[in-house]
Amino acid sequence: MDKSILTDILVDEAAKASHQQEYGEKKKIEGSMLVELPVFRGDDGFFVELARLTGQAETTKPLPPLSVAQINYSETVPDQIKAWHYHLKQDEIWLIPPTTKLIVGLLDLRRSSPTKNQVLRYSLGQGKMQALLIPRGVAHGLSNPYPQPAGLFYLVSNTFDGTDEWRLPFDFSVGKEFWQIQTG
């Protein structure tokens, strides 16, 4: 929609601050994938299969196979932003439990990627078990603007030694608002 029509109808402040909600196809980053994992619920709780470890880990379909070298768990306290970081030699799968709520961001830094400079923002967990594939060269981060701690499991293709841990400022390319709860 041509935004100039708003100035004919609305007060200037509202016309400048307005934007349209996007309902079309969601943006993508080449090589990344977000899938909802099956949750098997019962009166006593729930169960989710994350990976099968048979020499080389086989991730749950439709995720592509990932040679898992390490499995980690992280918890983020309320009102925290952990961003941006990226790896040049490591792929990751983040597993967001249904009992967690997180805002997750991806930023494609790969020069030769068809989606270079593309930014994605997800609101994850919130009753769904989700897995997010993050390819090497894609910066990623999260925020927990909610009042309770948020947990995250992640599978990585290399063991941690600190040599492939690169960082950017949390507001690089997106601004602080990106990591806050969005309304309207």
Q: Which residues fall within 8 angstroms of residue 108, CB to CB, at 6 or more apart?
A: 29, 30, 115, 116, 117, 118, 119, 137, 138, 139
The yes-or-no verdict on residue 169 having pLDDT over 70 is yes
Higher-pLDDT residue of 5 and 106 is 106
Average pLDDT over all residues of the chain? 85
pTM comes to: 0.77
Rounded Cα distance between 64 and 40, Å, is 22
Residue 143, amino acid: S
Q: Is residue 100 within 8 Å of residue 130, measured between CB atoms?
A: no
β partners of residue 76? 150
pLDDT digits (tens, 9 = 90+) for 71-113: 888 889 999 999 999 999 999 999 998 899 999 999 999 999 9
